[in-house]
A and B are shown apart, each in its own frame.
Chain A
Amino acid sequence: MKERIHKDVVIIGAGMAGLTAALYCGRMNLDTLVLENGIIGGQIANATDIENYPGFVSVKGGDLISTVQTQAENFGAVVDEFDEIEKVTLKSSPKIIETQEKIYEADVVIIASGMNRRKLPLPEEKKFAGRGVHYCELCDGAGYNGKIIAVMGGGNAAVDAANFLTKYAKKLYLIHRSEFRADEVSQKKLRANEKVTIMLQTEIKSLRGERRLEEVEVFDKKSGEKKILAVDGIFVNIGVEPNTQLFKDELKLSASGRIPAGEDCRTEIDGVFAAGDVREKEIRQLTTAASDGTTAALLAEKFLAKLRG
Chain B
Amino acid sequence: MVKIYTMESCPYCAKLKRYLKSKDVEFEEFDIEKDPAAREVCKKMTGIEWAVPVTTIDGENFVIDFDKPEIDKLLCL
Please give the residue numbers on chain A whose beta carbons come within 8 Å of chain B beta carbons, in ascending order: 39-41, 45-46, 62, 81-82, 84, 130-131, 136, 138-140, 142-144, 212
- In the complex, which residue of chain B has the Cβ closest to the Cβ of A129? B48
Total interface residues in chain B, CB < 8 Å? 18
Q: How far is the CB of B35 from chain A (nearest CB, A)?
A: 12
| Closest-CB distance, B77 to chain A (whole angstroms) | 11
B12 CB contacts on chain A under 8 angstroms: 39, 136, 139
A136 touches B10 (CB 8 A): yes
- Taking CB as reference atom, which chain A residue is nearest B64? A130
B9: chain A residues within 8 A (beta carbon): 138-139, 142
Known: A84-B68, A142-B33. A130 touches B48 (CB 8 A): yes
Q: List 26 A-B contacts (CB under 8 A).
A: A39-B15, A41-B11, A45-B11, A62-B11, A81-B15, A81-B18, A82-B19, A82-B68, A130-B48, A130-B64, A131-B49, A138-B9, A138-B10, A138-B11, A139-B9, A139-B11, A139-B12, A139-B13, A139-B52, A140-B52, A142-B9, A142-B33, A142-B50, A143-B49, A143-B50, A212-B49
Q: Is the CB of A139 within 8 A of B10?
A: yes
Q: Are A82 and B13 in contact (CB under 8 A)?
A: no
* Shortest Cβ distance from A140 into B: residue: B50
Inter-chain contact B50/A46, CB cutoff 8 Å: no
- Report the minimum CB–CB distance from B48 to chain A (whole Å): 5
A140 to B12 CA separation, bound complex (whole angstroms): 11
Distance in angstroms between the alpha carbons of A143 and B22 in the assembled complex? 29
Compute how far the CA of A142 lies from the CA of B7 in the bound complex, rounded to whole angstroms: 9
Task: Please report which residues of chain B, range 1-46, place their CB below 8 angstroms from some CB of chain A when the two chains form the complex.
Answer: 7, 9-13, 15, 18-19, 22, 33
Check A39–B48 contact: CB distance below 8 A: no
Interchain nearest-CB distance for A39 vs B (Å): 5
By beta carbon, the residue of chain B nearest A41 is B11
Contact A39 B50, beta carbon cutoff 8 Å: no
User: How far is B48's CA from A130's CA once the two chains are assembled, in angstroms?
Assistant: 7
Q: A82-B68, A136-B11, A136-B12 are in contact. List 20 more A-B contacts (CB 8 A).
A: A39-B12, A39-B15, A40-B15, A46-B11, A82-B22, A130-B51, A130-B64, A131-B48, A131-B49, A136-B10, A138-B7, A138-B10, A138-B11, A139-B9, A139-B11, A139-B13, A140-B50, A140-B52, A142-B50, A144-B50
